[in-house]
Amino acid sequence: MEDKFNCTCTHSISIRKNVTVSIACPFCRNLYCLVNDEIIKTSTLKPIMEDVSPLKINGEGILESKEFRITGRQQIIYHSSYKNLWSATYKSGEHFQIGESYGTYSIIKEVSAQVSPNKFRNLKVGKEIELAPKHSFYVNGIHEMKELTAEGDFPMPIILQTRCLSIELSNNKFEFAIINIYGDNDLKISSGYFLNFEDFSFKNIRNLNGWI
């Protein structure tokens, strides 16, 4: 079920009733947050960097026999790298993210974590850490986020903290985890695994030479 509202730039924006939590106007890049049926402008985002990604909003695909649609993209820029996090929703309403970084693709889901960010602050590249019983990971990168921008519709808040430390971990089972520490006290942990581009059975994506 969809609803609409007018952005301050006068464009009409569709929202998914009871689903959309954050939405960025594709025309003026105003970012809105939906709280208790109220639509509040929180900031104005910078444009997405053109990176010749084959994916796009409203692109579709199939995973584990379930159809999904891409609704939004966060673009996270670190000091020496960047990645796209595409928000996707199955027809059942279940949400996940597709990580895209330099031509590699992954599925990412947030996991609940009741731990203090201090547990992870002093991690170093190469260190081993057990995130869940029998699930050990090695730190393979620690990045400070420089900038975040976004486009589209998201079922979760877009966090535009100025300080975010992103710790990337992986193990020998092709699993990975990402620990994001926002400011002094906020923490988000996500986990995922890598897939090949073909595994998503994408359709309605960009027609770039050599891709489709």
User: Would you give the binding string for Zn ion spanning residues 22-61, x where CB under 5 A is met?
Assistant: ---x-xx-x-------------------------------
CA distances from 126 to 95, 164, 170 (A): 31, 20, 10
Nearest Cα to 178, choosing from 146, 148, 139? 139
Query: What span, in angstroms and rounded, lies between the C-alpha atoms of 59 and 27?
Result: 19
Three-state secondary structure call for residue 145: strand
Tell the smallest beta-carbon distance from residue 45 to Zn ion (Å). 11
CB under 5 A: which stretch of 21-29, 32-40, 128-136, 186-194 binds Zn ion? 21-29
Nearer to Zn ion by Cβ, of 57 and 63: the residue is 57
- Which tokens belong to 21? 């939590």
Name the segment binding Zn ion (CB under 5 A); options: 17-25, 34-42, 50-58, 73-81: 17-25
| R_g over Cα of the chain | 17
Write down the least CB distance from residue 11 to Zn ion, Å. 5
Sort 27 into a burial class: Cβ within 10 Å, 0-12 / 13-18 / 19+. exposed
- Neighbouring C-beta atoms of residue 127, cutoff 10 Å: 12
Helix (H, G, I), strand (E, B), or coil: what is residue 198?
helix
Q: Does 7 bind Zn ion (CB under 5 A)?
A: yes
Choices 6-14, 123-131, 158-166, 177-185; region in contact with Zn ion by CB under 5 A: 6-14
Which CB atom, from 151 or from 168, has the smaller least distance to Zn ion? 151
Mask of contacts with Zn ion, 77-116, x by CB under 5 A?
Answer: ----------------------------------------
Q: Which residues bind Zn ion (CB under 5 A)?
A: 7, 9, 11, 25, 27-28, 30
